[in-house]
Chain A
């Protein structure tokens, strides 16, 4: 708090117009309703999965970017927080192979047992 005393050229902390929050709040409601509708109208297979993932990522993005103020942070923090979770996708790929292998082995084993 500042020997300098003049440090805050901009507004203190994270202050953004309240309208921004209401807009994002509304968007999150719409997106949630849309993903609920995916289930309600029994969409199936690839259409269902892609819609679920799209709505999920949009909601997550809105929450992180606006509610958690990420879009107003410096790149140093943004990259430190956002990049590591992206690498989880490698883990996802690995476990997909593993799960397929287990499923195949179980199928082979159980059919032998009969």
Chain B
């Protein structure tokens, strides 16, 4: 109790590793995920289901793009931006990519400092992560405004070619942006709890009424890295293809 504030995961010290460990862990009448707190296992399961949602979005995008007889707009030109001179292709999207990766980096370090019980550094890194995320959403709002107002792209039509471009673009980036926004909100909530020292006092969560500990930072981190992960696929398959 005094030395460990983490959930007891029921791991016996003598479990085999590798393939044999996989089989024994999944064998009947026991918890399958040893060494993993329940919150983290459930977050992984949620992320798995979210993976399928985004897979379906990207799959439908692939299907409509392959089956349309109208030329697909060239993303590299659609998303070009000029700073007074020649338009630079995809520059805003590239900046957004680097911002999201940086936020993943700060989040990963927040998790590390959380397990070291370094309250201040963890909270500061989480706030930085949230600010990166908020600036990402801001840039996305700018991008949407430019596309809707200046270029007349609509979910049902656009002046540059295939109508499906608009529908898939707004659906996929909109759903991703929504994930980022929710992530930012929860980052602020958890960061505030870290800052207050909730997890040093093992304060009870108002929703779960369980003792809080720094594992929630890792669970939050999993969600945040997933948002970055989805962006990797959107960036490659939608913007670069």
| Chain A residues close to B by CB (< 8 Å) | 1-2, 5, 7-9, 11-16, 18, 21-22, 24-25, 28-29, 32, 35-36, 38-40, 48-49, 52-53, 55-56, 59-60, 63-64, 66-69, 73-77, 79-81, 84-85, 88, 91-92, 95-96, 98-100, 102-103, 106-107, 110
Give chain B residues whose Cβ lies under 8 Å from the Cβ of A53.
236
* B19 cross-chain contacts in A, Cβ below 8 A: 75
Contact of A63 among B3, B41, B228 (CB under 8 A): B228
The bracket for how many chain B residues form the interface is 35 or more
> Interface of chain B, helix or strand or loop or mixed?
helix
Min CB distance A94 to B, Å, is: 9
B195 partner residues in chain A, CB cutoff 8 A: none
CB-CB < 8 A to B67: which residues of A?
Answer: 98-100, 102-103, 106
Counting CB contacts under 8 A, is B167 at the interface? no
- Residues B37-72 near A (CB distance < 8 A): 41, 44, 47-48, 51-52, 55, 59, 62-64, 66-69
Most buried by A among B11, B63, B239: B63
> Does B165 touch A at the CB level, under 8 Å?
no
| A residues in contact with B145, CB < 8 Å | none
CB within 8 Å: A-B pair count: 187
With the chains together, A63 CA to B223 CA distance in Å?
12
Q: Verify if B235 is at the interface (C-beta below 8 Å from A).
A: yes
State A35–B94 Cα separation when bound (angstroms). 10
Measured CA separation A67–B48 after assembly (Å): 16
CB contact between B3 and one of A5, A40, A69 (< 8 Å): that residue? A5
Asked if B198 is an interface residue, CB under 8 A from chain A, the answer is: no
Q: Which A residue sits closest to B49, measured CB to CB?
A: A84
Given contacts A2-B4, A13-B218, A99-B62, A56 and B236 within 8 Å (CB-CB): yes
Interface: B232 (CB within 8 A):
yes
Sample 14 A-B pairs with CB under 8 A, ordered by A number. A7-B13, A12-B6, A25-B108, A32-B101, A36-B97, A52-B236, A52-B241, A63-B228, A67-B105, A74-B22, A74-B33, A76-B21, A91-B59, A102-B63
Which of B111-119, B135-143, B169-177, B186-194 makes up part of the contact surface?
Answer: B111-119
Taking A67-B104, A76-B32 as contacts, is the C-beta distance between A91 and B109 under 8 angstroms? no
The answer to whether residues A21 and B112 also contact, given A2-B4, A52-B241, A99-B63 and a CB cut-off of 8 A, is yes
Contacts of B32 in A (CB 8 A): 76, 80
A2 & B1 in contact (Cβ 8 Å cutoff): yes
Instruction: Check A28 against B48 for contact (C-beta < 8 Å).
Output: no
Cβ–Cβ contact B59 & A92, under 8 A: yes
Closest 5 CB pairs of A and B: A99-B66, A76-B25, A56-B236, A75-B22, A102-B67
Query: Contact between A7 and B11 (Cβ–Cβ < 8 Å)?
Result: yes
A96 to chain B, nearest CB (A): 7
Beta-carbon contacts under 8 Å, B1-20 to A: 1, 3-8, 11, 13, 15, 17-19
